[in-house]
Structure 1
Amino acid sequence: MVRTLKNLSDLKETRFGQPPPRHGLSLLWWFAHDCVQIDSNGRMTAKCNPTNGTFGFKRFHNSDNLLPKIKLPYYEVGNLHNAGSLPDYVTENYSGYSDSSNKDRIIVSFNSRLNKFEKIYVTQHSDKVHFDQNHTYCISTDLLKEIKQLSRDKFLKGRTNRSEQLSISMPPSVQRRQTNTCQSWKCRCALIGCGVLILLAAGVTLYCLLKPK
């Protein structure tokens, strides 16, 4: 069974398209804004035609049974080796090598008679040929609507967890140990300082007593 992502929190949890230079998030934002229109009944009308190869769309034959077997054809998009007319913000980090910069894909089932997408999936390559079954997800219409409401910058910032990567919170037990350690060190420093002062005072007193008159 392919898990359905219902909202932005679900998408964030999967870490699809992360970290850079992966392009999956930009690809998904582009698709939601430029390739599909959702009406009040949840119908996903296609604004681009995957059958003619525009934007690099090509048939996906589902030979590994990555997705459910259905009568409608599947099409995939996002291969930057054949990017077609995908916008620059999707392709800008592509290195041209077999690395994570060309790992992500969108796969759709398309009803050409009604000009609508029945299902939309995101996935990633597990190697040069196969896709990862454990990282393949169905995108709900509710999630697409949420993405449509966001600018690309806000969408990317909300999904990349940059602040979380820069700031790692410590468990309370570790924080308590660190606090206790600091307090203990301060106490030791204070005791050492007091000891030095006492020794100095004793030395001055002894000098005064023994000083010849």
Structure 2
Amino acid sequence: MMRLTSVLALTLFCLCVGAVSTIKRLYHMADLTSITFGKKFPHHGLMLLYWFTLHIEFDSQDFILPKDYDPTDGDYGCKTYANTQKLLPKIPRNTEDESYYIIGNLKNEAAKFPTYVNQDYYNAYCALEENANRDDTNRNRDRIIFRLKVLPSGLHLKEVYITQTAVTGLRLSHDLTYEISAQLLKEIRDITQHKVAILCPALKPKEEEAHGMFEDQNLAWFLTLADYDIYRRELCLSNTHCSDYTLGVGEECMSHLHCTPGSTEGEVCDWNPVRLKVSTTAQGYAVVNWANIPDTRVEDEGLTVALFQNDDSSDILAEKAVHDLASGSFPTNTTLNAGLQVRLLLKGSKQTETLWRGPELDGKNPTKIQGYDASIQLFTRDGLAYARFYVKKSFTNWKASFPSWYIGYIPIPEASYATYVYAKDLVQTTDHKFAELDVYEHFFNQKMAPRALLRFFDYQNKVRAQTKPWDD
């Protein structure tokens, strides 16, 4: 009777306080291998996790610290996660210095990530029947959530989770949520120390294929060890490389690819993706750039590079036949705007096939002003240069802290500013909504230039922050 009463009491307790978190914790690479997270093309979860480990560091107490970005500033699309699903352990109400943040939504932030994270988001539909629908959700389901604590010494990541949105909507799936231990994060970051594992003969062919797909060889090691489905992704790449593609790699195509004998069986081919990019002229017009078009495609009749307004657009703004050039560029009459995208097309008599998509044009992450809760960003609108200024809502006296400080627009790094604006004269905008940030902008009435940047000067004309050149 006593035992039954105890069980009943525990049941009532659980019903009253809500479900107790039973999220599985992953300690080593073997644990990551045992789950399905991010393993199937076009999922980006494993690439995102690898990128994440490159942007954290560990202090002397083994605390996890964000490196070279600030989640509270919205870098890489970081947003607060309210945990309304009670998916993760509850943060006590009186703990004002802790919050959950979520990262990995590529819908509007893909271009800020490196190519290995975003390229399958843009190219999720090539040749795979089940991925032919432009509304496919598998290309953008994976996320990382972390519990951020603000300490006097800086930011500390207390917990890190990987998760996926449910197929039916934006809610996160409890069954696909796992906590990542600090030990596993270290193993991924130091993946080159685990190369001995590749000596397993069964993994060698897969490892060689991964090396042919990704320029970052450590990423290739990691994906092999994590059991990523390399061969499924190969189906997509073979369509880009091979004109006689059916449901695999055609023999005619294979004879022209850069392939070498594998260490065990078959051949290993160079699957490096086509590189497509938008840059700018000195007058703020878009320049279409392409490189690395494979030999198996470059002579195809109808092969064209084209400029589109964004990833969802179907209207061509400018185009040029490749004419056997594996790399090249051409200026257009289209003014520079966020979202512009270059695509590699194969134009036939009856239909046009998209072979590859480049990233959408987007501004770089804001540049921090050291010692202050504020940052600056260069962006463009209609080919003209603008400054964006982000400041923490808690930094209420920022105008008084920046007396006579100003932002200068620099057309080329070697030159002085062409024009400037005092920080106190910036105009607040409501176009961007951040829980912790206010946003201000300024129009310089200057054409965007390829190497243009911003510098933030103090009242003594000393540079306190500088953005990277636009086309870098």
User: What TM-score results when the alignment is normalised by the length of structure 2?
Assistant: 0.33
Q: Distance in 2 between matches of 1:132 and 1:78?
A: 15
Q: Distance in 2 between matches of 1:76 and 1:13?
A: 24
Decide whether aligned partners of structure 1 residues 118 and 81 sit closer, same or farther in structure 2, where only a CA change above 3 A counts.
same
Match of 1:76 in 2: 102
Match of 1:117 in 2: 157
* Equivalent pair of 2:39/2:229 in contact (CA under 8 Å): no
Q: Distance in 2 between matches of 1:7 and 1:91?
A: 26
Q: Secondary structure in 2 aligned to 1:14?
A: coil
Q: Distance in 1 between matches of 2:230 and 2:148?
A: 38
More strand by share: 2
Match of 1:67 in 2: 88
Gaps of 5+ in 1: 166-213
Q: Residues 185-212 of structure 1, C-alpha deviation per residue, up to 9 Å, x if partnerless?
A: xxxxxxxxxxxxxxxxxxxxxxxxxxxx
Q: Greater CA deviation, 21-30 or 94-103?
A: 94-103
Match of 2:460 in 1: none
Gaps of 5+ in 2: 1-21, 125-133, 192-217, 233-472
More helix by share: 1
User: What TM-score results when the alignment is normalised by the length of structure 1?
Assistant: 0.72
Using the TM superposition, give the Cα deviation of residue 53 of structure 1 relative to its aligned residue in structure 2, in angstroms.
0.7
Say yes or no: does 1:38 pair with 2:58: yes
Kindly indicate whether structure 1 or structure 2 has the higher relative contact order, using CA contacts under 8 Å at least 6 residues apart. 1
Q: Secondary structure in 2 aligned to 1:55?
A: helix
Using the TM superposition, give the Cα deviation of residue 136 of structure 1 relative to its aligned residue in structure 2, in angstroms.
0.5
Q: Distance in 1 between matches of 2:26 and 2:49?
A: 13
Decide whether aligned partners of structure 1 residues 104 and 41 sit closer, same or farther in structure 2, where only a CA change above 3 A counts.
same
Instruction: State the identity as a percent.
Output: 34
Using the TM superposition, give the Cα deviation of residue 39 of structure 1 relative to its aligned residue in structure 2, in angstroms.
3.0
Q: Residues 42-61 of structure 1, C-alpha deviation per residue, up to 9 Å, x if partnerless?
A: 21011121111111111111
Q: Distance in 1 between matches of 2:108 and 2:185?
A: 25
Q: Distance in 2 between matches of 1:144 and 1:30?
A: 11
Q: Greater CA deviation, 7-16 or 109-118?
A: 109-118
Q: Residues 159-178 of structure 1, C-alpha deviation per residue, up to 9 Å, x if partnerless?
A: 2355899xxxxxxxxxxxxx
Partner residue of 1:143 out of 184, 196, 214: 184
Amino acid at match of 1:108: F
* Equivalent pair of 1:106/1:122 in contact (CA under 8 Å): yes
Using the TM superposition, give the Cα deviation of residue 82 of structure 1 relative to its aligned residue in structure 2, in angstroms.
2.3
* Equivalent pair of 1:83/1:91 in contact (CA under 8 Å): no
Q: Distance in 2 between matches of 1:20 and 1:164?
A: 9
Q: Distance in 2 between matches of 1:99 and 1:59?
A: 22
How many pairs were matched up? 164
Using the TM superposition, give the Cα deviation of residue 83 of structure 1 relative to its aligned residue in structure 2, in angstroms.
1.7
Partner residue of 1:129 out of 160, 170, 175: 170
Match of 2:25 in 1: 4
* Equivalent pair of 1:7/1:143 in contact (CA under 8 Å): yes
Larger Rg: 1
Decide whether aligned partners of structure 1 residues 163 and 100 sit closer, same or farther in structure 2, where only a CA change above 3 A counts.
closer
Amino acid at match of 2:50: W
Partner residue of 1:153 out of 220, 240, 246: 220
